[in-house]
Amino acid sequence: SILQQFLLSLTFPRLLEAVEMEDDDFTASLSKQSCITEQT
């Protein structure tokens, strides 16, 4: 579990930064995914 916490502490801030930086792209991809799931 210590290793998990270590990996999380490494990856989570980067994920947050990616979401903040690419917020528009992220929401756009989410809306595309929701449209795809609605169609099928």
pLDDT tens figures, 1-40: 888 888 888 877 777 676 665 556 666 666 776 666 666 5
The whole-number pLDDT of residue 24 equals: 62
The whole-number pLDDT of residue 7 equals: 82
The pTM of the full predicted model, rounded to 2 decimals, is 0.33
3-class secondary structure, 40: coil
* 38/9 Cα distance (integer angstroms): 35
Segments forming the whole domain that contains residue 27: 2-39
Domain count, the chain: 1
Please state the φ and ψ torsions of residue 4, each to the nearest 5 degrees: -60, -45
32: burial class by Cβ within 10 Å (0-12, 13-18, 19+)?
Answer: exposed
Q: Are 30 and 37 in contact (CB under 8 A)?
A: no
